[in-house]
Amino acid sequence: MNKPLCLYGHEFSSRLLLGTAAYPSLDVLQQAVAAAQPAMLTVSLRRQGAVDSAHGQGVWALLQGLGLPILPNTAGCLSVQEAITTAQMAREVFECDWIKLELIGDDDTLQPDVFQLVEAADVLIKDGFKVLPYCTEDLIACRRLLDVGCTALMPWAAPIGTGLGVVHEYALRVLRERLPKTPLIIDAGLGLPSQAAQVMEWGFDAVLLNTAVSRSGNPVAMAQAFAQAVVAGRLAYGAQPMPPRRAAQASTPTVGQPFWHSAEY
């Protein structure tokens, strides 16, 4: 229960990963990070404009000052070559061989294209990247990602930015059961701390958040709430929750009760 999160041989004290996009200001982002104390911070080369824009340079300077591990992502990529090129650029800009691999297959749901995802992951792993693929809860697709060398996966709970929580509970729980030794990080779709606690109670290893924190009314308080929920969920999982029952079972013992109801009544 007390083992740290381990990804590609690296240990992290927190089981919360936090995105850095869409915060009201850099000051709010900094405070939210301080409140959450995440294992890693995700950043998009495209959206932050780390090279070209003043805003992007401000974000990058802030991230460097925080001293936390950076997880660049390939957000917005629609093809294998586009994702590979973006990952390689991110490695140069952020001086980091970690990559959250995103390859989108549908504009409306932002659902990952699992076919191209496997192909891109294969190339990037051979190029020395530590790949964390943003994928669906499909067991077979996840196995293919493991086959090409991914050692951790990031299945979605629901489409990005929806805050719906877990849409396909059965599939996610089967995924957790069938891949017991693979670190699984729930990425996308969570909206409430209770939803984060729930997936952690099921045995998932971590959660990644962005919109649920940055678009909330108080990102700093919400970051803290999610951080506490992740810890609570992990503790509950390790404590081995009681199995659910259909019939009621009294929690108060009857032995030693001073009075008994008569059968007449």
Residue burial 209-227, b: 16+ Cβ < 10 Å; e: rest: bbbbbbbbeebbebbbbbb
* Catalytically active residues, by annotation: 100
**What would the two tokens of residue 79 be?**
């093809």
**What would the two tokens of residue 228 be?**
């506490």
Is 263 annotated in a binding site? The answer is no
Kindly list the strands in the beta sheet with 154-155, ordered across the sheet, starting from the edge strand earlier in the chain. 154-155, 130-135, 98-101, 70-73, 40-44, 16-19, 206-209, 185-187
Is 149 annotated in a binding site? The answer is no
Partners of 178 in beta bridges: none
In whole angstroms, give the CA distance from residue 204 to residue 165: 14
In whole angstroms, give the CA distance from residue 28 to residue 36: 12
DSSP string, 94-111: HT--EEEE--B--TTT--
In whole angstroms, give the CA distance from residue 136 to residue 114: 8
Residue 229 per-residue DSSP state: H
Is 188 annotated in a binding site? The answer is yes
Is 211 annotated in a binding site? The answer is yes
Is 162 annotated in a binding site? The answer is no
182 in Cβ contact with 152 (< 8 Å): yes
Burial zone of 123 (CB within 10 Å; 0-12 exposed, 13-18 middle, 19+ buried): middle
Report the binding-site residues for 1-deoxy-D-xylulose 5-phosphate: 161, 188-189, 210-211
Report the binding-site residues: 161, 188-189, 210-211
